[in-house]
Amino acid sequence: MKRDAHYYAILAFCRACGFKKDSAQVIAYASQFVDDAKINLMFIDSSSHIPEHDLVENRSAFFNMATCHSYFRINTFNYEAMVNNTIAFHFVPGCKGENFTKRLRCKEEAPIILDIINDVFLEDDLIKLGIILHAYADSYTHQGFSGMLSKVNDIKNCKAITKEDLGLLYKILHFFAQFGRENYEKLFDRIMPAYGHGQALEFPDIPSLVWSYEFDESGEFNGSYKSVEIDNKERFKRAFNNIRKHLEDYLALHNQYLDCYLGFENFDILMDTLLSEGEDKKREKNWIRLLIEQGLFNTDDLDLITYDDNKWLKEAFRNFDPKIFDDRQVDGVQLADNFSNSNWYGFYRAVKWYKKKFFQYCTKYELSIPH
Q: What is the pLDDT of residues 200-250, one digit of tens each?
A: 989 999 999 999 999 988 877 888 899 999 999 999 999 999 999 999 999
In a domain, 304, yes or no: yes
How sure is the predictor about 134, in pLDDT bands with cuts at 50, 70 and 90? very high
List for the chain the helix, strand, coil content (%; round to 5). 50, 10, 35
CA distance 94 to 367: 10
Q: What is the pLDDT of residue 17?
A: 98
37 within domain boundaries: yes
Contact 335, 317 (CB under 8 A): yes
Q: For residue 106, list its beta bridge partners.
A: 93
More confident residue, 353 or 149: 353
Cα separation of 260 and 219, whole Å? 54
Confidence tier at 274 by pLDDT (50, 70, 90): very high
Q: What span, in angstroms and rounded, lies between the C-alpha atoms of 203 and 232?
A: 9
180 vs 212, residue with greater confidence: 212
pLDDT tens digits, residue range 328-369? 999 999 999 999 999 999 999 999 999 999 999 999 999 988
* 178 lies in some domain: no
What's the mean per-residue pLDDT of the chain? 91
pLDDT at 282: 95
Residue 69's pLDDT band, with cuts at 50, 70 and 90, is confident
Q: How far apart are CA 353 and CA 211, in angstroms?
A: 36
Name the pLDDT band for 298 (thresholds 50, 70, 90). very high
95 inside domain: yes
Q: Are 31 and 51 in contact (CB under 8 A)?
A: no
First to last CA, the chain: 26
Domain that holds residue 277: 3-147+230-364
Distance CA(131)–CA(31), nearest Å, equals 5
Residue 204 lies in a domain: no
Query: Is 282 inside any structural domain?
Result: yes
Q: What percent of the chain is predicted at pLDDT more than 70?
A: 91
Q: Residue 49 in 3-state DSSP?
A: coil
Domain count, the chain: 1
Show Cβ contacts of residue 58 under 8 Å, excluding neighbours closer than 6 positions: none
Answer for the pair 110, 93: CB distance below 8 angstroms, yes or no. Answer: yes
Q: What tens digit of pLDDT does each residue of 6-56 get?
A: 999 999 999 999 999 999 999 999 999 999 999 999 999 987 778 889 999
* CA 317 and chain centroid, separation: 24
Instruction: Check residue 98 and give its pLDDT.
Output: 83
Looking at residue 50, its pLDDT comes to 81
Distance CA 276, CA 284 (A): 10
182 located within any domain: no
- Do 347 and 127 touch, CB atoms closer than 8 A? yes
Does any domain span residue 179? no
Please give the residue that has the higher pLDDT: either 81 or 314: 314
Q: What pLDDT sits at residue 297?
A: 97
Residue 328 · residue 313 · CB < 8 Å: no
Report the pLDDT averaged over residues 125-152: 96
Task: Assign 216 to helix, strand or coil.
Answer: strand
- pLDDT over threshold 90, residue 283: yes
C-beta separation of 87 from 127 below 8 A: no
Nearest to 112 by CA among 354, 370, 371: 354
